[in-house]
């Protein structure tokens, strides 16, 4: 039996609307989750996302709209959830850090950690950035005590606070990262994390006095304080599954196989703070930190503050379902920064979706209607084929040459590539298969053969092979393009069980398919300036 697996996006800080950068993370994690459901079984995969709703930046964003913080986050969390639903993400859990169950869980973890002895109180005077909501050491600041993230002076604040011992766990965390027990990928981010852990760490201040900020979860053993927003937000990865399954069962089952999808800007919090927070609570670490780069839009980072944001659903309504999803997964190497432009998206749409995928589907279904009255009257190719073209097609769609002992080698390869975060390579492999199928049409020329009725048996077998090829491609596209995959499989009139079969084991002689519809009408020019 295969392992349970827990997949998360970051918990989105909802002081602004979601943009294409946040959508990219949710989409990558969703492609991964859909592929892992194929490998592990749907009931053994949990997929979690949600919104991070406490802290001073939320309080101030709410004030700016004359709303109470909770009313503001009700609105913003719903906005995130609706955008991600519109992108066909398949979360099993949507966690809000203001959910009463989450708040109670965080308090339990604070109590537990305190009882284990890793929280202490001390008076503290430090340089504090209100925007970062954290203290800085002078060494970390720019000249003039300026915050490097916000380029504005920090404030000197003196107060008593609670601290979590994190330096105590530094060597242990470092060793777990070095040995890949906590595996950070791609590799460059592992090296960055090891560097962050090379020097002694200041213990983490995990409280905020209510006199300064009361929008947070109350510290259970000192009601004058709320907890630090990051300490609170991390636990969103755990609180809801723990409530459903029990903490012990979740920790013994899926948790050690957790896959966190995060942006490179929060590598430090996830590699340096989160592991000690877990260890101090006596809990195991997740399996992977899957770190992605930024999408650059016209040369600058796409972010809430840069003004170059677009509602991700704009792409869904303008170009159709799956197009944004396809584009970011095909265009960006996971882990590296990627360029995002509408011009490039339209180029890919026309070349890959309208031409390669859409045209093949339309042509094949049109020929089945015209020459065979819509009914596949032959079985698709098996091994030991006479025609070289058929053999070439068969071998490519079995994902191997000559060895037919693993009929689902191709399906396994695609899922494995996704498991290694090689989304782009997996799509290139599928588009190579589209190319093989398109070349098979040209090489066998069924439209020419069909002019002589004596050739109809051969035409029928060519079209059976092509319908079978389309079926396999449509099935394997599902993690990347769930709506399109469903449309093509509906046109091919195959049920879910048939859809998953290896090439040659799906469509049977006598199978009826539907007439074509245009999946991706060509876009002649940009729809907006």
**Beta partners for 46?**
6
Q: How far apart are the C-alpha atoms of 402 and 385, rounded to whole Å?
A: 12
Spatial CB neighbours of 497, under 8 Å, sequence gap ≥ 6: none
Cα-Cα end-to-end distance for the chain: 53
Nearest distance from C-beta of residue 152 to Zn ion, angstroms: 7
**Pick 141 or 379: Cβ nearer Zn ion:** 141
Stretch that binds Zn ion, among 37-45, 142-150, 254-262, 394-402 (CB under 5 A): 142-150
Q: Are 399 and 410 in contact (CB under 8 A)?
A: yes
User: Which residues make beta-bridge pairs with 159?
Assistant: 124
Place of tokens 């004359």: 66
Stretch that binds Zn ion, among 121-129, 251-259, 267-275, 333-341 (CB under 5 A): 121-129
Residue 230 or 255 having the CB closest to Zn ion: 230
Among 127, 147, 476, 519, binds Zn ion (CB under 5 A): 147
Binding mask 236-275 for Zn ion (x = CB under 5 A): ----------------------------------------
Span 287-306, contacts to Zn ion by CB under 5 A? none
147 vs 489, which CB is nearer to Zn ion? 147
Question: Could you say whether residue 129 binds Zn ion (CB under 5 A)?
Answer: yes
Q: Which is nearer to Zn ion, 67 or 146 (CB)?
A: 146
Enumerate the β-bridge partners of residue 262.
291
Does residue 410 interact with Zn ion by CB under 5 A?
no
Helix/strand/coil for 232? helix
Binding-site size for Zn ion (CB under 5 A) equals: 6
What Cα–Cα distance (Å) separates residue 101 from each residue in 96, 221, 235, 242, 253? 9, 18, 11, 10, 21
Distance of alpha carbon 136 from alpha carbon 125, whole angstroms: 11
Q: Smallest distance, Å, CB 267 to Zn ion?
A: 17
Which residue in 74, 92, 131, 331 binds Zn ion (CB under 5 A)? Answer: 131
User: Strand pairing of 300-301 and 338-340?
Assistant: unpaired
Nearer to Zn ion, 76 or 147 (CB): 147
**Least distance CB 349 / Zn ion (angstroms):** 39
CA distance 262 to 192: 15
Using alpha carbons, select from 182, 374, 363 the residue that is nearest to residue 275: 182
Handedness of CA 468, 470, 471, 477 (dihedral sign): positive
Q: Report the residue number, 147 or 229, with the smaller CB distance to Zn ion.
A: 147
141 forms part of the interface with Zn ion (CB under 5 A): no
Which residue from 149, 243, 385, 400 is in contact with Zn ion, where contact means CB under 5 A? Answer: 149
Report if residue 523 touches Zn ion, rule: CB under 5 A: no
CB nearer Zn ion, residue 65 or residue 155: 155
Taking the complex as a whole, how short is the minimal distance between the CB of residue 55 and Zn ion, in angstroms? 13
Is 132 a residue that touches Zn ion (CB under 5 A)?
A: yes
Q: Which stretch binds Zn ion (CB under 5 A): 56-64, 132-140, 273-281, 316-324?
A: 132-140
User: Which of 85-93, 141-149, 389-397, 436-444 is the region at the interface with Zn ion (rule: CB under 5 A)?
Assistant: 141-149
For Zn ion, the closer of residues 150 and 178 by Cβ is: 150
In the block, tokens 């560097």 appear at 195
As measured in angstroms, the least distance from the Cβ of 405 to Zn ion is 58
3-state secondary structure of 228: coil
Q: Which is nearer to Zn ion, 81 or 134 (CB)?
A: 134
| Residue 142 within binding range of Zn ion, rule CB under 5 A | no
3-class DSSP assignment, residue 353: helix
| 440 vs 446: CA distance, rounded Å | 10
Cβ nearer to Zn ion, comparing 52 with 103? 52
Q: Which residues contact 478 (CB under 8 A, 6 or more apart)?
A: 34, 485, 486
> DSSP for 86-130?
HTT---SEEEETTSHHHHHHHHHHHHHHHHTT-EEEEEEEEEEET
3-state secondary structure of 158: strand
Side-chain half-sphere CA neighbours of 213 within 13 A: 25
Question: Is residue 127 close enough to count as binding Zn ion by CB under 5 A?
Answer: no
| Site for Zn ion contains 505 (CB under 5 A) | no
- Give the range of 82-90, 146-154, 339-347, 402-410 binding Zn ion by CB under 5 A: 146-154
Separation CA 126–CA 157 (nearest Å): 5
Residue 66 CB, shortest distance to Zn ion, in Å, is 26
> Which of the stretches 53-61, 70-78, 150-158, 452-460 binds Zn ion when contact is defined by CB under 5 A?
150-158
Are 470 and 361 in contact, with CB atoms under 8 Å apart? yes
Q: Which of 75, 122, 150, 508 binds Zn ion (CB under 5 A)?
A: 150
**339 three-state secondary structure:** strand
Span near Zn ion by CB under 5 A; candidates 36-44, 148-156, 239-247, 413-421: 148-156
Q: Does 460 bind Zn ion (CB under 5 A)?
A: no
Calpha distance 289→421 (Å, rounded): 11
CB of 147 to Zn ion, least distance (A): 3
Rg (CA), the chain: 27
The CA-based angle 10-224-153, given to 5 degrees, is 60
Does position 379 bind Zn ion by CB under 5 A? no
Cα–Cα distance for residue pair 108/219, rounded to 1 Å = 10
The binding track of 53-92 with respect to Zn ion, each residue x by CB under 5 A or -, is ----------------------------------------
Q: How far is the CB of 227 from Zn ion (least distance, A)?
A: 20
Minimum CB distance to Zn ion, residue 56 (Å): 11
Partnered with residue 292 across adjacent β-strands are 263
Residues that bind Zn ion (CB under 5 A): 129, 131-132, 147, 149-150
């Amino acid at each position: 039996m295969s392992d349970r697996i827990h997949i998360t996006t970051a918990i989105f800080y909802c002081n602004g609307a979601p943009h294409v950068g946040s959508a990219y993370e949710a989409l990558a994690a969703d492609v991964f989750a859909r592929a892992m459901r194929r490998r592990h079984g749907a009931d053994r995969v949990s997929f979690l996302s949600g919104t991070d709703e406490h802290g001073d930046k939320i309080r101030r964003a709410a004030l700016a709209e004359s709303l109470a913080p909770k009313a503001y986050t009700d609105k913003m969390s719903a906005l995130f959830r609706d955008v991600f639903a519109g992108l066909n993400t398949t979360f099993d859990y949507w966690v809000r850090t203001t959910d009463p169950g989450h708040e109670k869980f965080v308090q339990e973890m604070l109590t537990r950690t305190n009882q284990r002895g890793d929280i202490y109180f001390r008076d503290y005077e430090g340089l504090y950035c209100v925007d970062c909501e954290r203290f800085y050491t002078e060494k970390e600041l720019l000249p003039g005590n300026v915050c490097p993230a916000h380029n504005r002076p920090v404030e000197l604040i003196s107060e008593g606070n609670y601290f979590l011992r994190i330096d105590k766990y530094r060597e242990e965390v470092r060793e777990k990262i070095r040995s890949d027990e906590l595996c950070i990928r791609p590799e460059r981010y592992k090296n960055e994390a090891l560097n962050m852990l090379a020097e002694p760490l200041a213990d983490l201040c995990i409280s905020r006095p209510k006199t300064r900020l009361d929008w947070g979860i109350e510290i259970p053993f000192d009601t004058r304080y709320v907890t630090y927003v990051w300490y609170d937000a991390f636990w969103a990865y755990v609180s809801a599954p723990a409530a459903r399954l029990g903490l012990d069962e979740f920790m013994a089952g899926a948790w050690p196989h957790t896959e966190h999808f995060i942006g490179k800007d929060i590598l430090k919090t996830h590699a340096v703070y989160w592991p000690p927070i877990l260890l101090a609570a006596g809990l195991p670490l997740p399996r992977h930190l899957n770190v992605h780069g930024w999408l650059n839009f016209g040369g600058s980072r796409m972010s809430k503050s840069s003004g170059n944001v677009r509602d991700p659903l704009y792409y869904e309504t303008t170009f159709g379902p799956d197009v944004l999803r396809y584009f970011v997964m095909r265009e960006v190497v996971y882990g590296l920064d990627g360029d995002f432009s509408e011009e490039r998206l339209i180029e890919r749409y026309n070349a890959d979706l309208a031409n390669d995928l859409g045209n093949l589907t339309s042509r094949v279904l049109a020929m089945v209607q015209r020459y065979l009255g819509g009914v596949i009257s032959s079985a698709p190719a098996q091994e030991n084929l006479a025609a070289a073209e058929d053999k070439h097609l068969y071998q490519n769609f079995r994902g191997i040459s000559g060895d037919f002992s693993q009929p689902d080698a191709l399906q396994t390869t695609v899922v494995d590539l996704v498991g290694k975060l090689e989304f782009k390579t997996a799509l290139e492999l599928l588009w190579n298969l589209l190319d093989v199928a398109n070349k098979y049409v040209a090489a066998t020329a069924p439209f020419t053969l069909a002019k002589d009725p004596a050739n109809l048996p051969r035409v029928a077998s060519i079209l059976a092979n092509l319908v079978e090829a389309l079926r396999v491609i449509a099935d394997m596209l599902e993690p990347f393009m769930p709506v399109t995959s469903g449309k093509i499989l509906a046109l091919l009139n195959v049920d879910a069980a048939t859809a998953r079969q290896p090439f040659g084991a799906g469509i049977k002689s006598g199978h009826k398919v539907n007439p074509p519809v245009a999946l991706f009408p060509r876009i002649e020019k940009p729809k907006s300036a």
